[in-house]
Amino acid sequence: MSKPTWSPVARKGGGPPVAVITGASSGIGAEFARQLASAGMGLVLVARRRERLAKLAQELASSSSAPVEIEVCDLTDRESLEALAERLSSRSDIDLLVSSAGVALVGRFAAAEVSRQISLLDLHVIAPTRLTRAVLPQMIARGHGAVIQVSSLAGMFSRLSSPTYGSSKAYLNAFSESLAEETSGTGVCFQALCPGFTVTELHSTPEFDGIDIHARIPGVLWLSAERVVRESLVGLAEGKRVVVPGRRYRWLRALAGNRYSIALACRWRAGRRWRRRVEP
């Protein structure tokens, strides 16, 4: 059976197809909003910071006539998540879900604050799972749709990453792949987007206080959010289930199974130095 591909198509009843984007107030999520708006899609922007979402909606209104809605929601709050999921599942116009909301966590598992670890799992595992369940039935019924889980290269190298962060991204990769198999033939596409270091606000949070990550990671390894999103959408149009943006990171991915590779050893040493630095 040929791989399903996705690109925005006008709905039969009129009106533009709609994309729901979590984590739309900044970074990769905001860039998805910009690129999908310029492709004519209607948008539902989800995050906690209302003023950021409103500013983005205003910016997009000047370049696109497609409607932009705002959903202010803390996705780690189960009640708010459930209410959002119910609102989304009652619609029939959602053609794309991009789950981009995420946070970073550094430090050793046994030392990191438990509430932050649980909250990360709520955001990276429970919320994407619940929202995918909310939109999938309407996509299957229409025979068209796509779900992008913004995962990370860390999901492929989880033993070298922070245990909760890397493992949560490994879950997203497995979840996406498994759904692609389960829904094969329905016309719905699934993609696990696995970027490496990307210039966003992720590394500017208090979590990274005292760590100058840009000084530690060579400039050639930093991707722009624009490139990450562009490669993701091209991958969706080609039916790619896993997208690793950037040639250097694709080489790294190819080495993932080779435990003797120099690249992995270097990364491992850098990780150990970093962990030693951030440990209390």
Q: Of the candidates 100, 117, 176, 183, which one interacts with ligand NDP according to CB under 6 A?
A: 100
Contacts of 115 (CB under 8 A, 6+ apart): none
Burial class (CB in 10 A: 0-12, 13-18, 19+), 260: exposed
Mask: binding to ligand NDP, 148-177, rule CB under 6 A, as x and -? --x-x-------------------------
In degrees, rounded to 5, the angle at the alpha carbon of residue 191 between the alpha carbons of residues 188 and 197 is 160
SS3 content of the chain, % helix, strand, coil (to 5): 50, 15, 35
- Least distance from ligand NDP to the Cβ atom of residue 188, Å: 21
Q: In the stretch 196-235, what mask flags binding to ligand NDP with x, by CB under 6 A?
A: -xx-xxx---------------------------------
Is 260 considered catalytic here? no
Q: Where are the beta strands (DSSP E) in 132-186?
A: 145-150
Between residues 73 and 94, which has the closer beta carbon with respect to ligand NDP?
Answer: 73
**Shortest Cβ 268–ligand NDP spacing (Å):** 18
Which parts of 3-62 interact with ligand NDP (CB under 6 A)? 23-29, 47-49, 52
On whether the CB atoms of residues 97 and 19 are closer than 8 A, the answer is yes
Cα 102-36-61 angle, rounded to 5 deg: 105
* Binding-residue total with ligand NDP (CB under 6 A): 28
Q: Which is nearer to ligand NDP, 75 or 94 (CB)?
A: 75
Q: For residues 228 and 235, give the distance between their C-alpha atoms in angstroms, rounded to a whole number.
A: 11
Q: Judged by CB under 6 A, does residue 113 bind ligand NDP? A: no
The minimum distance between CB 199 and ligand NDP, in angstroms, equals 7
Of the candidates 20, 75, 84, 156, which one interacts with ligand NDP according to CB under 6 A? 75
Q: Which residues, including other chains, have CB under 8 Å from residue 34's CB and lie 6 or more apart?
A: 59, 60
Task: Report the residue number, 47 or 85, with the smaller CB distance to ligand NDP.
Answer: 47
Measured CA to CA in angstroms, residue 251 lies from 192, 200, 225 at distances of 17, 23, 20
The residues annotated as belonging to the active site are 165
Query: In the complex, which residues of this chain contact ligand NDP (CB under 6 A)?
Result: 23-29, 47-49, 52, 73-76, 100-103, 123, 150, 152, 195, 197-198, 200-202
